[in-house]
Amino acid sequence: MFIDRAKIFVKAGNGGAGCNSFRYGRTRRIKIPTGGDGGRGGDIIIRVNKAVGTLLDFQYRRHFKARPGGPGGSNDKKGSDASSQIISVPAGTIIRDLKTSLVLRDLVEPEDEVVIVKGGKGGKGSVHRNPATQGESGENRDLFLELKLIADIGIVGFPNSGKSTLISRISNAKPKTASYPFTTLKPILGILNCNDFKHIAVCDIPGLIEGAHQGRGLGHDFLRHIERTRVLVHLVDMSIGGGEAFKNYLSLNKELEFHNRILVEKPQIIVANKMDLERSKDNFSDFTSRIGKDVYPHTEKFGGEVYPISALTGQGVDKLIEVICRIT
Ligand SMILES: Nc1nc2c(ncn2[C@@H]2O[C@H](COP(=O)(O)OP(=O)(O)OP(=O)(O)O)[C@@H](O)[C@H]2O)c(=O)[nH]1
Ligand SMILES: [Mg+2]
């Protein structure tokens, strides 16, 4: 299951209590304080873990409590500091304070981490010539975690336009493809290897339809996963007719804009798919002549071109890969 939002409660460990102990001096007339300090309570750290792909684990566990510090002992023995508790999240997790909605941290890079609540300091022991004190309480917080995947390229298009077929051709991802709409139910990440040194993360999301922003279809909920991409590959099914394809192109952009204007301001590589089918050829010239005059406002048609491909046979895909690798 792909889960991209979660609410959790975190509580750092309390500090250990200071110790109230004394020993008598040699004459037994004076009491010498010997109580040691308590140890620090454990912090809670949220850290990116490459092996984690979703926030699913938080469906099952929502409360996290770090261990308390150890109490001080006699003979000035300090209590042990508690170790931190690590919570693993996928790269791209945004951490907000649940009450204020303020972003506390955006964990993007592998191994990024943040101490989200600090453990309490240990109490003072009587060795400081004052009565021993209790340890401080550890901080606590309600958090809202939201995952926005980190990808360089986002593939968008109507259901059935061939997005999953394309990602499985150009990357290591192998999602299900089928001849009915809404085959893809969750975002898929794949890596496209341009060469030995350059690897590009590509994201395929469930198909979008008109009215998606009002909750039609599945796609709208997943649009946040392409907010961070640099470039969109906008796939249009050419087999359905040039006019129809153009209508879909416009309405998909409208849905992107409804979600967040930054999406339509990203450069778009417009790709005409299913060019292996005979009827697609005429449709293609119809589509390109329409789009030539009337590109969606604010969008930038990358390189001023529409790239004809067949994700199924691979025709035109090398050129598309070359363009993607060049601009990212
Ligand atoms: N002839 C032809 N068929 C294609 C091509 N690309 C995809 N298809 C077919 O179109 C259908 C839909 O392909 P998918 O890759 O599942 O489409 P999608 O855009 O991921 O669909 P959703 O996940 O439902 O949004 C499948 O039957 C594919 O085999 C192509 O270039 N040529
Ligand atoms: Mg799909």
Global pTM?
A: 0.83
The per-residue pLDDT for 301 is 65
Position in ligand 1 atom list of the atom nearest CA 165: 15
- Looking at the predicted structure, is the pLDDT value of residue 241 above 80? yes
Find out whether 309 and 260 touch, Cβ atoms under 8 Å. no
- Report the relative pairing of strands 231-237 and 267-273 from DSSP bridges: parallel
- Looking at the predicted structure, is the pLDDT value of residue 302 above 90? no
Give the residue carrying structure tokens 């308590």. Answer: 38
Q: What is the secondary structure of 225-245 as a DSSP string? A: GGTT-SEEEEEEEGGG-HHHH
> Mean pLDDT score of the chain, rounded to an integer?
92
- Looking at the predicted structure, is the pLDDT value of residue 11 above 90? yes
Straight-line distance from the first to the last Cα atom of the chain, in angstroms, rounded to the nearest whole number: 30
The per-residue pLDDT for 305 is 86
- Looking at the predicted structure, is the pLDDT value of residue 217 above 80? no
294 band by pLDDT with thresholds 50, 70 and 90: low
With a 6 A CB cut-off, is 177 part of the ligand 1 pocket?
yes
How many angstroms does the Cα of residue 264 sit away from the middle of ligand 1?
Answer: 24
- Looking at the predicted structure, is the pLDDT value of residue 239 above 70? yes
What pLDDT, in 10s, does the model give residues 129-164? 999 999 999 999 999 999 998 899 999 999 999 999
Find out whether 79 and 16 touch, Cβ atoms under 8 Å. yes
Residue nearest to atom 13 of ligand 1 (CA): 162
- Looking at the predicted structure, is the pLDDT value of residue 31 above 90? no
- Mean pLDDT, residues 278-298: 86
Higher pLDDT, 80 or 174: 80
With a 6 A CB cut-off, is 248 part of the ligand 1 pocket?
no
28 band by pLDDT with thresholds 50, 70 and 90: confident
The per-residue pLDDT for 148 is 93
- Mean pLDDT, residues 72-86: 96
Spatial separation of the C-alpha atoms in residues 139 and 116, rounded to whole Å? 9
- Looking at the predicted structure, is the pLDDT value of residue 65 above 70? yes
Find out whether 14 and 66 touch, Cβ atoms under 8 Å. no
Higher pLDDT, 244 or 184: 244
Mutate to test the pocket of ligand 1, among 222, 238, 309, 312 (most ligand atoms within 8 A of CB): 312
* The residue type at 302: F
Spatial separation of the C-alpha atoms in residues 78 and 86, rounded to whole Å? 24
Spatial separation of the C-alpha atoms in residues 304 and 12, rounded to whole Å? 55
Tokens standing for residue 124 = 């003072």
- Looking at the predicted structure, is the pLDDT value of residue 185 above 90? no
What domains are there in the chain, each with its CATH number? 5-147 (2.70.210.12), 153-327 (3.40.50.300)
